[in-house]
Structure formats: structure tokens, C-alpha cells
């Protein structure tokens, strides 16, 4: 099993550009999460999904959209990137009340 994978690993965007981050898991987990990690701050939840076709807002959802069209994939979109969205993005998944499994992260730099 590959576990949780994220694409791309690193990306540089200009302000106003759009992009989609892909998270994929092969563990048949119901729950999937997108977090951002910034220096001096804990991981913060952007959006999450409790199952295929459902999504919900987390702590810091503004400027992001998500979709979960297939159970194994959770996409995070930035429609118009801003420098404040420079961060490291982590995807995670879990089954039921088990622990989360994290992806390797995506480093995003918005100029």
C-alpha cells in the first residue's frame, strides 16, 4: 500500500494563479482532511470530508475549495492564490476512530 500520497510535492505560484492539490489514499478510509502548517503555529484544518461526495469547512477555509468525487481522492483548490497561502499543506485520512495517516506534504510558495 502506498498509504497517503500528495501531488505535487512543491509548487511556486504567482498571485492570482489557480492550482489544485491532489491527495490520494489506498486504505479505503472514510475520513480525509486538508491541513496547513505555518511556522510557530500548529496544524490548522482547512476542509475535511467524512465520505465520498461530502465536504465540510474547517478552521481556516477561506480561499480554498475542496471536492471528494471518489472515496480515495480529496482535492484542494486555490482559485486565486495569495501570498498568505504560502504554506506547507498536509493531507490525512483515517478510518472510524483510528489514528490519522498523513501524506508527505506539499510546499507551496505564492509570490
Partner 1 sequence: KNEVEQSPQNLTAQEGEFITINCSYSVGISALHWLQQHPGGGIVSLFMLSSGKKKHGRLIATINIQEKHSSLHITASHPRDSAVYICAVTGNQFYFGTGTSLTVIP
Binding partner 1 by CB under 8 A: which of 22, 27, 43, 60?
Answer: 43
The least distance separating partner 1 from the CB of residue 105, rounded to whole angstroms, comes to 5
Residue 46: other Cβ atoms inside 10 A: 24
Residues belonging to the chain: 111
Give backbone dihedrals phi and psi of 36, rounded to 5 degrees, phi first.
Answer: -120, 145
| Position among 16, 59, 79, 82 found at the interface with partner 1 (CB under 8 A) | 59
Q: How far is the CB of 50 from partner 1 (least distance, A)?
A: 11
- The helix/strand count (H/E) of the chain reads as 0, 11
Binding mask 83-102 for partner 1 (x = CB under 8 A): -----x-x-x----xxxxxx
Distance between CA atoms of residues 11 and 108, nearest Å: 5
d(CA 91, CA 7): 10
Which of the residues 2 through 31 are near partner 1 (CB under 8 A)? none
Q: Are strands 87-94 and 101-102 parallel, antiparallel or unpaired?
A: antiparallel
For the bound state, the minimum distance from the C-beta of residue 92 to partner 1, rounded and expressed in Å, comes to 8
- Contacts with partner 1, residue ranges (CB under 8 A): 33, 40-45, 48, 58-59, 88, 90, 92, 97-102, 104-105, 107
Amino acid at each position: 500500500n502506498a498509504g497517503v500520497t500528495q501531488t505535487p510535492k512543491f509548487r511556486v505560484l504567482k498571485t492570482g494563479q489557480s492550482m489544485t492539490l491532489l491527495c490520494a489514499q489506498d486504505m479505503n478510509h472514510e475520513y480525509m482532511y486538508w491541513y496547513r502548517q505555518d511556522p510557530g503555529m500548529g496544524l490548522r484544518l482547512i476542509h475535511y470530508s467524512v465520505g465520498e461526495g461530502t465536504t465540510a469547512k474547517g478552521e481556516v477555509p477561506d480561499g480554498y475549495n475542496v471536492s471528494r468525487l471518489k472515496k480515495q481522492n480529496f482535492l484542494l483548490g486555490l482559485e486565486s492564490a495569495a501570498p498568505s497561502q504560502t504554506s506547507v499543506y498536509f493531507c490525512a485520512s483515517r478510518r472510524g476512530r483510528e489514528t490519522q495517516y498523513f501524506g508527505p506534504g506539499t510546499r507551496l510558495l505564492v509570490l
